[in-house]
Amino acid sequence: MARLFKSRTHLKRKKVQNYSRFHNHSLRVYQSITATLAPLVHRAHWSTTPRVNLNSIVGKRYQMDLFKNMICDKFQVINNSVDPQTAQQLEKLLAGKQTDVVILNDGSTAKLVILNTPDKGPRIHQMDVRAELILGKTYLGHTFTEQDKQYLHKYGDMGRTAQLIDPNGGQPLKALIGVDQETKRLRLLNIDTFRMPDEILGKKLTPVQKLMLLEGKALRLDNMDYKGTKFSTYTRLSAAKGGFKYNKIQTQQNNLPLASLPSQVQSVSSPALEPEADASFPI
């Protein structure tokens, strides 16, 4: 009886060992086939997808040749070409604008922008997406108050100007500070270079009103006009948006959806010095 039990146990072990060998062999065969076919499938995919040659992407501010090596390091470039979506982002980049959030070769997600550095000249700056906003005690020479931090976390804008030091040149800089909600990083709107319009949506601005807006204050503007519809809003400059932000004042005549209002961006905020909250900003 003992011999019969041992014999059956031995047979079971043999079956397990044989199955294990078969499974390992099958796995190796699968991996070998995958390794062989994957490049072919990859090339077939790209061969059927329209591609854009890098040399055909003309920048409005920067030239492709200056950044081609850096672009090849960050994006998947095949035969000197990229997919149409990447080409659109590169056009924004070479125009001196910030890209949308993109997926890079190393698997990271980030926004890109070109910065002019004093020692190395124009470089592509990468702003990785963060899980949450991280605020230190100071930022470019500005010391955050508790109210500053509260407003940045809650509203996405600090609500007042700050005297900063430009890290690229060491020059003083007056700016509004906001939060890029996609990357959870701070961004600036440079007040010194912002071009304030004479009117916003048909509403002419007085010198005092312009000054209030440049200080980051909310300004009530009545009888604004958008496609023939009159409305009133609290309007302010938002570093988070890189332009104007409107908080509609509810009246019987004011039925225009706020989302339809143009931001009328006059200047791009500087992401180099490291969307819009729905809540109304404190007046």
pLDDT digits 0-9 by tens, 124-165: 999 999 999 999 999 999 999 999 999 999 999 999 999 999
Q: Are residues 258 and 135 in the same domain?
A: yes
Whether residue 5 has pLDDT greater than 60: no
Asked if 68 and 161 sit in the same domain, the reply is: no
pLDDT score of 240 more than 70: yes
Side-chain-side CA neighbours of 46 within 13 Å: the count stands at 15
Residue where a domain terminates, one of 94, 111, 128 = 128
- Its domain, for residue 172, covers 131-283
Q: Per-residue confidence at 177, pLDDT binned at 50, 70, 90?
A: very high
Note whether residue 15 is domain-resident. Answer: no
- In DSSP notation, 18-86 reads HHHHHHHHHHHHHHHHHHHHHHHHHHHHHHHS--EEGGG---SSS-HHHHHHHHHHHS--BTTEE-HHH
Q: Is residue 214 part of a domain?
A: yes
Range scoring the smallest mean pLDDT among 98-112, 114-128, 138-152, 192-206: 114-128
How many domains, the chain? 2
pLDDT of residue 152: 95
Q: Are 232 and 223 in contact (CB under 8 A)?
A: yes
**Claim to verify: residue 152 and residue 202 sit in the same structural domain:** yes
Residue 271 placed within a domain: yes
Q: How confident is the model at residue 283 (pLDDT cuts 50, 70, 90)?
A: very low
109 within some domain: yes
- Residue ending a domain, among 89, 107, 128, is 128
Shared domain for 164 and 118, answered yes or no, is no
Name the pTM for this structure: 0.67
Residue that is last in its domain, among 128, 163, 186: 128
Tell me the pLDDT of the chain averaged across its residues.
Answer: 78
Q: For 41-57, what is each residue's pLDDT tens digit? A: 445 444 567 899 998 99
For the stretch 18-30, pLDDT in tens is: 544 554 455 455 4
